[in-house]
Structure 1
Amino acid sequence: MIRTDQTSLAPPPLPPRLGRSQPILIPAQLSPPAHNNKPLIQFLAGVVMLHFFLSIGGFFYLFYKDKTVLLDNSPSADKRVGYLPTTQQEASSLALARMVIEPRSHTEKEEKSSGLLKWEKNSFRKNINSYKNSWLTILEPGNYYVYSRVTFSKGHPKLPLASRVMLRESETGEEKIVMKAYCSLNSNSISSSSESLLDPHMCTATQMELLTLKKGNQLSVWVQDLSVVDYEEEATTFGMYKL
């Protein structure tokens, strides 16, 4: 016989009553405080403003820099007070010349009447003009290193073998000697020239000098007898360059 008054089973729960709502518990999400995002927003705003001002500053810097470069390269830039030319501009204004002897085409009359050597028209010149193929005209005043090399292929029975560099103030100025050199074809004499030792029938008169020249000055090379000069290109030359 089963006793119903003693059992370990709990009684069933009572059913909910109709018409009465039961609360539903849903855990609410906790939102972070609003003040936690404020420093991040301020930092981003600062970065944006800094980038903006740097862009504007860089634009104005490049604009004024380009404007200054254009003014410095203008033709009137060297007229401004305190203007100093750059190394490249100084190098581009250097004056120099290397003249090559013109092939012999003189008549006997020309050889007797003039002792000035003539130079090739296509010889290298920069900021120096050529006048009548014999004179070099200075365009920039200053100190010039001037050199001359004249080779003689034969001697003269009465006159010494000499070359002279002549200077005149202008085209109509009086000529004067500023450089002079001699050489001898005597094979018995002691000479420091290697060309004279190798060939006693030729000698070279070489001269070099530092001259202070003015604008408009003219230089040329003169010999007593053009018929005794060696007209090979590298044997007889004349040139100068500004220091």
Structure 2
Amino acid sequence: MINTFHTSYNPPPPPVPPRAGYSRPRPAGNTSLVKFLSVMLLLLMILTFGGFLYLFQKLNVQFQDSYHEEDFVLKRLQDCADSGMGEESMTECGKLMEKYKTVIEKVSQANEKLSKLTGGPHFIGPAAHMVALTVPKDKASDFLKTSSLIWDKDHSLLQDVKISKERDKLTIQYPGIYFIYSQVTFSRNTPSSSLKQSIRSTGPKKDQFKELLKSFCSLNPSTSNMCTASVTGVFHLEKDQQIYVTVTNTTLVNRDSCSFGLFKLRY
């Protein structure tokens, strides 16, 4: 059979085989620049990590040195408490304490500035300011028979200091060095004894009695004047030590002008 089908489509010619030694050209790029930037980024990461590691090790060493130094200083302070140390060692202890006092004073000043800025209290610590109880609630009680002054708890200041059930003694809760003061005004005189007030203390054991301070004043029996006896002092007080004020005779006292207080010194 004879094929009579005809078309005008001509197939493309076959591709020309490449010549020997010929290679297709590659598009121009920035391969060298990319490699350079990659190397620089890697070096930057290594330097950054190394710097952080160096700073961490340096701070760690400084912290350990500071800790060991503080531990050494604390041990030296404990040794200073030994009464058998020589004069040279005690001189060194004195210098050490002066340095600590300077640091503590700076910290206290910073805390005071911070308190003023924040509106907080300017003094934080044990303190008391007592005013005398004017009129006894029960005149038939031993209120007027005791030689100790009774204080008005409701109108007094008490901070980290306790008052006894009888309201005559203040009990120390935190040991330390305290400033103590008292003022007693007498409105009448007695010919049998002098007008005297004294600040006394008892320790945790009831037999540990001390008279810390005392003062006197005198009145002319023919006049109606008043006299005031005042005392102040600084003492080291122990925990549970009690402080109170006694007078010659409570019936001779003008209770409107009597006060008693203390506060712990900061150092």
For Structure 1 versus Structure 2, the TM-score category normalised by the shorter chain is 0.5 to 0.7
Aligned match for 1:170, one of 188, 204, 217? 204
Structure 1 position 213 matched with structure 2 position 241: no
Look up the match of 1:116: 148
Question: Which range moved further: 42-51 or 138-147?
Answer: 42-51
Map Cα deviations across residues 111-147 of structure 1 (whole Å, 9 max, x no partner): 5521110112232222321112001112222322211
Letter of the 2:230 partner, please give it: T
For 1:6-45, list aligned pairs within 5 A: 31=28, 34-45=31-42
Post-superposition shift, 1:237?
0.9
Q: Against the structure 1 CA distance between its residues 228 and 44, is the aligned structure 2 distance closer, same or farther, given a 3 Å change threshold?
A: same
8 A contact 2:198–2:214 mirrored in 1: yes
For 1:66-77, list aligned pairs within 5 A: none
Map Cα deviations across residues 54-81 of structure 1 (whole Å, 9 max, x no partner): 9x98xx9xxxxxxxxxxxxxxxxxxxx9
Matched length: 179
Q: Which has the higher contact order (CA 8 A, sep 6+)?
A: 1
Q: Against the structure 1 CA distance between its residues 29 and 96, is the aligned structure 2 distance closer, same or farther, given a 3 Å change threshold?
A: same
Give me the TM-score of the superposition, normalised by structure 2: 0.53
8 A contact 1:171–1:218 mirrored in 2: no
Q: Against the structure 1 CA distance between its residues 136 and 153, is the aligned structure 2 distance closer, same or farther, given a 3 Å change threshold?
A: same
Greater share of helix: 2
Distance 1:46 1:92 in 2: 56
Aligned match for 1:160, one of 186, 194, 197? 194
8 A contact 2:188–2:224 mirrored in 1: no
Post-superposition shift, 1:238?
0.8
**What root-mean-square deviation, in Å, do the aligned CA atoms of Structure 1 and Structure 2 show?**
4.1
For 1:77-226, list aligned pairs within 5 A: 94-105=125-136, 107=139, 110=142, 113-122=145-154, 123-131=156-164, 132-170=166-204, 172-173=206-207, 175-186=209-220, 201-226=225-250
The structure having more radius of gyration, on CA atoms, is 1
Give me the TM-score of the superposition, normalised by structure 1: 0.58
Post-superposition shift, 1:109?
6.4
Distance 2:143 2:195 in 1: 15
The gaps in structure 1 that reach 5 residues or longer are 1-27, 61-80, 188-198
Q: Against the structure 1 CA distance between its residues 32 and 111, is the aligned structure 2 distance closer, same or farther, given a 3 Å change threshold?
A: closer
Post-superposition shift, 1:37?
3.2
**How high is the sequence identity, in percent, across the aligned residues?**
27
Give the secondary-structure state (helix, strand or coil) at the position aligned to 2:142.
Answer: helix
Q: Against the structure 1 CA distance between its residues 108 and 175, is the aligned structure 2 distance closer, same or farther, given a 3 Å change threshold?
A: farther
